[in-house]
């Protein structure tokens, strides 16, 4: 499939409200109830992701969204291409000719002569290709390496952070691309197939041309071993999803009968029918990428807007990162290696931070959780707040402040909440290593559901004060930049979840 030239607003505006794909996803709602709704339309998606209702602000976010998506240095359009590729593995007939009025069933008895159930080997190969396309899109959007370390991050994200459209897509993948065609023992079948397959055999598989484009390796043998290792790491999550969500062939078929009419002796054809006549990877992929680029655009607009607001006026709602997929990690981005779909994509320099002369804005109302969080490779800088001298005797916050007994004796630094649920609270840093997070076992406790435990730590390293992100993929920003580890000199603004803190040396 040629790379899609449509803009993100055209893609979101073009999503259908009803067709076979929508009916199938709705039928599979029992797998991940409440995670997905078929929101379509560019403006509607901006409202959904940001919670924004002001028309002028929606326009600004929309303009920035289109600008980001159209930037070839970003990975958004490449991710869309990958999701479209997943659904182009099998040629599809015209869906429109089969879509009936809402509430009616689709009978495919008249087209059975066009369908041939796939052998398990072909179905297994198709399933593996889709899995690795999801991994490739994930790596593309978040700058993680396409290697075993990247696979580990992808596997962890599946278990802990996929939500909304992303979770719906992968739940449908387990249901209709794994359990339905291969049965509950799909993992054993796939591992057996991959173990027995030789590099020469996999090169002869029609799906391999797609797989070779997204899997690293110097040759077919190297790529095959990477595929084996990759599926082995992800199949645990797939099996757990099947068991914990009650995904069985019988339950899937019962749900699909709400919109497909078939008899029990034609069950073997159902997986083939769904494969050919639905494009759930592309549909939910557009929604996922749309949510992600809108999230980043809203963050960019929020930063630029904060320079122009009168003192004390709150900024607009903006979705917070790290809701279901990790933040981007520039440190893990790989250079291009000849073959493959992506490598290193140059990142424009961040906008220079302009010190604000206004007090920090009041906490914005937190909107509905976003999907991918902020994922521009290099987000704009957050404006610095003016330095204010710390109190002579810093007082730790009670209840939600510092964990355990705190004194100011030996304090070498202070954190002040300048935006977020604990606005105005101060925390004294008086130990060589201070962890910051949501749970009670941290030295600094933040009452913020979007903060991890621990989220980051600040520690003395010789003559330097260092901030170290403690998430498996960077989710801590310092002056607007995602960081893994960075020295602090004073007056930096640190963002974790919905909370912004200013660091001051004492």
Residue 504 belongs to what H/E stretch? strand 499-505
Q: Give the separation between CA 87 and CA 193, rounded to whole angstroms.
A: 22
State the pLDDT confidence band at 207, using cuts at 50, 70 and 90.
Answer: low
The residues, any chain, with a CB within 8 Å of residue 405's CB and separated by 6 or more, are: none
DSSP line for 126-159:
HHHHHHHHHHHHHHHHHT--SSHHHHHHHHHHHH
Q: Is the confidence at residue 328, as pLDDT, over 90? A: no
Q: Share the mean pLDDT of the chain.
A: 75
Structure tokens at 402: 């510092």
pLDDT exceeds 70 at position 345: no
Would you place residue 327 in the very low, low, confident or very high pLDDT band (cuts 50, 70, 90)? very low
Per-residue model confidence (pLDDT) at position 45: 95
Instruction: Map 193-248 to HEC letters.
Output: HHHHCCHHHHHHCCCHHHHHHHCCCCCHHHHHHHHHHHHHHHHHHHHHHHHHCCCC
The mean pLDDT value for 97-107 works out to 40
Give CA torsion, residues 176, 132, 475, 72, to 10 deg: -110
Residues composing the chain: 506
Q: What is the pLDDT of residue 46?
A: 95
Contact 57, 65 (CB under 8 A): no
The percent of residues above 90 in pLDDT, for the chain, comes to 37
pLDDT digits (tens, 9 = 90+) for 378-424: 333 333 333 334 444 334 333 333 333 333 458 899 999 999 889 99
Q: Give 323's DSSP letter.
A: S
Q: Can you say how many angstroms the Cα of residue 239 is from the centroid of all Cα atoms in its chain?
A: 21
> CATH 2.60.200.20 region(s) of the chain?
413-505
Residue of 393 and 481 predicted with greater confidence: 481
Q: Higher model confidence: residue 77 or residue 352?
A: 77
Instruction: List C-alpha distances in Å: 99 to 23, 25, 75, 173.
Output: 10, 15, 33, 22
SS3 64: helix
pLDDT band of residue 213 (cuts 50, 70, 90) is low
- pLDDT value for 337: 35
Using DSSP's 3-state secondary structure scheme, residue 299 falls into: helix
- Strand 426-429 with 433-437, pairing: unpaired
Tokens 């330095």 map to which residue? 387
pLDDT in tens, 222-275: 888 988 998 998 999 999 999 999 999 999 999 988 877 777 656 667 887 888
Query: What's the longest Cα–Cα distance across the chain?
Result: 83
Poorest-pLDDT segment among 63-77, 80-94, 163-177: 80-94
> Residue 472: pLDDT above 90?
no
Reported as a pLDDT band with limits 50, 70 and 90, residue 44 is very high
Where residue 284 falls among pLDDT bands split at 50, 70, 90? very high
Could you read off the pLDDT of 108-129 as tens digits, one per residue? 455 445 555 456 777 887 888 8
Task: Please give the span between the terminal C-alpha atoms of the chain, in angstroms, as a whole number.
Answer: 59
So what's the pLDDT on residue 107?
Answer: 55
**pLDDT > 80? residue 153:** yes
CA–CA separation, 447 vs 3, rounded Å?
44
Pick 176 or 358 by higher pLDDT. 176
What are the phi and psi torsion angles at 241 (to 5°)?
Answer: -65, -45
- For residue 267, what pLDDT is reported? 66
Main-chain dihedrals φ then ψ at residue 395, nearest 5 degrees? -110, 125
Rounded Cα distance, 287 and 41, in Å: 10
The residue among 372, 304, 345 whose CA lies nearest residue 45 is: 372
Contact 150, 214 (CB under 8 A): no
3-state SS class at 396: coil
Identify the helix (H) or strand (E) that includes residue 482.
strand 481-483
DSSP string, 400-433: SSBSSS--STT--EEEEEEESTTTT-EEEE-SSE
How many other C-beta atoms lie within 10 A of the C-beta of residue 409?
A: 7
Report residue 38 as tokens: 């078929």
Residue 331, pLDDT score: 36
Query: What proportion of the chain, given as a percentage, has pLDDT over 70?
Result: 69
Domain 413-505 has CATH 3.40.50.300: no
pLDDT at 383: 34
CB 334 within 8 A of CB 382: no
CB 429 within 8 A of CB 458: yes
Spatial contact of 460 and 480, defined as CB atoms under 8 Å apart: no
Of 2, 49, 21, the residue nearest 289 (C-alpha) = 49
Positive or negative: CA dihedral 259, 263, 267, 268: negative
From 162-176, 236-250, 308-322, 333-347, the region with the lowest mean pLDDT: 333-347
Q: What is the pTM of this model?
A: 0.61
pLDDT level of residue 175 (50, 70, 90 thresholds):
very high
Instruction: Please name the residue that has the structure tokens 């290792």.
Output: 229
Distance (Å, whole) CA 107 – CA 85? 27
302-308-312 Cα angle (round to 5): 85
Mean pLDDT along residues 77-83: 90
C-alpha of 434 from chain center: 29
Q: So what's the pLDDT on residue 208?
A: 66
What mean pLDDT do residues 278-301 have? Answer: 93
Closest by alpha carbon to 488, among 446, 458, 462? 458
- Cβ neighbourhood burial of 491 (10 Å; 0-12, 13-18, 19+): middle
What tokens does 37 get? 């709704």
Cα–Cα distance for residue pair 111/270, rounded to 1 Å: 12
List Cβ<8 Å contacts ≥24 apart for 200-208: 202/125, 202/227, 205/122, 205/125, 206/122, 207/89, 207/122, 207/125, 207/126, 207/128, 207/129, 208/125
User: pLDDT tens digits for 438-463?
Assistant: 877 789 999 988 888 788 999 998 88
């Amino acid at each position: 499939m040629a790379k899609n030239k449509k803009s993100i607003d055209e893609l979101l505006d073009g999503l259908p409200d009803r067709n076979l794909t929508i009916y199938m996803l709705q039928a599979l709602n029992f797998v991940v109830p409440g995670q997905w709704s078929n929101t379509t339309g560019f403006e509607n998606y901006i409202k959904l992701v940001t919670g924004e209702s002001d028309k002028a602000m929606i326009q600004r976010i929309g303009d920035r969204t289109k600008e980001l998506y159209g930037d070839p240095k970003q990975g958004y359009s490449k991710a869309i291409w990958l999701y479209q590729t997943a659904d182009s593995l099998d040629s599809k007939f015209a869906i429109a000719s089969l879509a009936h009025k809402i509430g009616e069933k689709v009978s495919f008895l008249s087209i059975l002569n066009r369908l041939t159930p796939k052998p398990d080997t072909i179905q297994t190969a198709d399933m593996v290709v889709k899995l690795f396309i999801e991994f490739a899109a994930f790596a593309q959007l978040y700058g993680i390496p396409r290697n075993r370390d990247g696979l580990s991050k992808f596997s962890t994200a599946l278990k802990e952070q996929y939500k909304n459209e992303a979770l719906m897509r992968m739940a449908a993948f387990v249901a209709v691309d794994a359990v339905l065609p291969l049965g509950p023992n799909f993992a054993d079948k796939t591992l057996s197939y991959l173990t027995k397959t030789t590099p020469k055999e996999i090169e002869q598989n029609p799906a391999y041309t797609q797989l070779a484009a997204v899997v690293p390796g110097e040759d077919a043998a190297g790529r095959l071993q990477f595929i084996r290792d990759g599926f082995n790491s992800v199949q645990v999550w797939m099996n757990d999803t099947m068991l914990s969500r009650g995904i069985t062939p019988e339950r899937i078929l019962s749900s699909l009968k709400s919109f497909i009419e078939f008899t029990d002796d034609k069950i073997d054809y159902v997986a083939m029918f769904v494969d050919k006549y639905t494009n759930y990877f592309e549909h939910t992929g557009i929604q996922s990428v749309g949510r992600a680029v809108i999230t980043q655009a809203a963050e960019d607009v929020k930063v630029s807007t904060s320079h122009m607001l009168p003192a004390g006026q709150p900024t607009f709602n903006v979705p917070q990162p790290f809701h279901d997929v990790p933040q981007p990690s520039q440190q893990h981005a790989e250079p291009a290696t000849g073959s493959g779909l992506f490598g290193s994509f140059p990142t424009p320099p961040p906008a220079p931070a302009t010190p604000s002369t206004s007090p920090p804005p009041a906490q914005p109302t937190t909107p509905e959780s976003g999907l991918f969080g902020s994922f521009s490779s290099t987000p704009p800088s957050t404006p610095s707040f003016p330095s204010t001298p710390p109190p002579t005797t810093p007082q730790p916050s009670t209840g939600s402040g510092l964990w355990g007994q705190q004194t100011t004796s030996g304090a070498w630094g202070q954190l002040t909440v300048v935006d977020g649920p604990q606005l105005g609270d101060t925390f004294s840093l008086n130990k060589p290593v201070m962890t910051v997070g949501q749970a009670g076992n941290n030295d600094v406790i933040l009452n913020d559901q979007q903060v991890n435990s621990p989220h980051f730590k600040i520690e003395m390293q010789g003559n330097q004060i260092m901030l170290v992100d403690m998430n498996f993929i960077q989710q801590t920003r310092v002056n607007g930049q995602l960081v893994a580890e960075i020295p602090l000199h004073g007056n930096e603004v640190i963002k974790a979840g919905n909370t912004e803190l200013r660091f001051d040396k004492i």
